[in-house]
Amino acid sequence: MVGPGDAHPASWTGRAALTRRFTRFAAIDWSGQAVARPKGLAVAELVDGAPTLVVRDGGWSRGAIRDWLAALAEEGADMLIGLDLSPALPFVDRGSYFPGWDAAPGDARALWALVDALAADDPHLAATSVVAHDELSRHFRRQRACGDLFSGGRGRLRVCEERQLAAQLSPTSCFNLVGAAQVGKSSLTGMRVLQRLDGTVPIWPFDPVPDSGPVLVEIYTTIAARAAGVRKGRSKLRDAASLDAALAVLGNRPHVPIGRYDDHATDALLSAAWLRAVAGDAALWRPDAMTAEVARTEGWTFGVV
């Protein structure tokens, strides 16, 4: 287990390079749907070692999840929380999120502030106004409206997404807003929540890992599925038996049964268990390609090395 005095290679400044023992684990499957309570939002926590869906009457809203996270910070919960969204846009490949725009933000926190400000009038912490912005819209591929500065093909990727691609995963550019696999809308709405949590819950690797209290990390649920033995092309689990079989591979107890086995619920349940299994792996907190610039501008997907 990595401790506070452990060193790290000179390519890294030491920021967010530490791990610690967590006693609680949770995962959140996210959604960019511009409605009050998106069906894609799901929250799971390990309770007495068993993955359990955290249910809210009427369903979760992004604001309610923000409040739930803030309450965990208030109580000092010793919890590692995975958030299934990209906390920033690609930056390193072009030296900017929005090349050619003089007002482009220079780091992730400035990006969160920009997104939240531009979407201030959008209800439900949506981000519709961001992709409709005259300058920003040029960089996004939207339905029937591809921006002239969208890079084409798969789209621009963050450094950690390039590493995912090398590992035969299928990352999608945050600048792509089209198709079932798109993650751009989720990521932009997530940035609004991160902006409103800033200073409340540490977000790795933008913040150092504190000695106590909750910590947020970005996750990619397919990584959890692969670790649990779910083969490529079958990463979505839709029944209790398949979910428990995957949990067993991770050395976890069976889940607390739920009413409906959809992708969102099972992704959250399996990812919470996966975090418990891998949180103590120091290599996951110190990926070689995560330089200080990458950590400051793009962040990193926990589990990618």
What is the mean pLDDT, run by run of 10 residues, along the chain of 305 residues?
32 47 96 93 94 95 97 97 97 97 97 98 96 95 90 92 94 89 90 94 96 96 94 78 96 94 95 96 95 98 97
29/82 same-domain check: yes
287/208 same-domain check: yes
Residue 2 placed within a domain: no
Determine the structural domain holding residue 80 and report its residue range: 24-87+201-294
122/139 same-domain check: yes
pLDDT at 233: 66
Residue 19 placed within a domain: no
pLDDT at 2: 30
70/216 same-domain check: yes
Closest residue by Cα to residue 302 from 174, 216, 200: 216
pLDDT at 10: 34
* pTM exceeding 0.85: yes
Residue 93 placed within a domain: no
Judged on CB neighbours under 10 Å (0-12, 13-18, 19+), 164 is: buried
125/56 same-domain check: no
Bridge partners of 141? 146, 176
Closest residue by Cα to residue 30 from 221, 171, 198: 221
pLDDT at 234: 66
The residue out of 178, 195, 212 marking a domain boundary is 195
| DSSP codes, the chain | ---TT----TTS-STT------SEEEEEE----SSSS-TT-EEEEEETTEEEEE--TT---HHHHHHHHHHHHHHT--EEEEEES-SS---TTTTSSSTT-TT--SSHHHHHHHHHHHTTTSGGG--HHHHHSTTGGGG-EETTEE-TT---TT----HHHHHHHHTT-----TTB--STT--HHHHHHHHHHHHHHTTTS-BTTTSPPPSSS-EEEE--HHHHHHHTTPPTT-----SHHHHHHHHHHTT-PPPPP-S---HHHHHHHHHHHHHHHHTT-HHHHS-TT--HHHHHHT--BTT--
Q: How far is CA 224 from CA 40, 178, 199, in A?
A: 18, 24, 28
Please count the structural domains in the chain.
2
Judge whether 294 and 238 are in contact, CB under 8 Å.
no
The residue out of 147, 166, 195 marking a domain boundary is 195
The pair of structure tokens assigned to 284 is 């996951």
Q: How far is CA 48 from CA 21, 174, 201, 255, in A?
A: 16, 36, 24, 11
Judge whether 62 and 41 are in contact, CB under 8 Å.
yes
150/290 same-domain check: no
Residue 92 placed within a domain: no
186/137 same-domain check: yes
163/218 same-domain check: no
pLDDT at 27: 98
Residue 3 placed within a domain: no
Token pair 């749907």: residue: 33
The CA-CA-CA angle for residues 263, 303, 31, to 5°, reads 35
The length of the chain, given as a count of residues: 305
pLDDT at 11: 37
34/167 same-domain check: no
Would you tell me the crossing angle of helices 263-278 and 240-249 to the nearest 10 degrees?
10
pLDDT at 231: 80
pLDDT at 127: 96
80/34 same-domain check: yes
Residue 30 placed within a domain: yes
pLDDT at 8: 34
pLDDT at 19: 62
pLDDT in tens, 136-186: 999 999 888 899 999 888 899 999 999 999 999 999 999 999 877 788 999
CA–CA distance, 232 with 222 (Å, rounded to integer): 9
173/133 same-domain check: yes
76/41 same-domain check: yes
Residue 100 placed within a domain: no
The residue out of 144, 160, 195 marking a domain boundary is 195
Residue 57 placed within a domain: yes
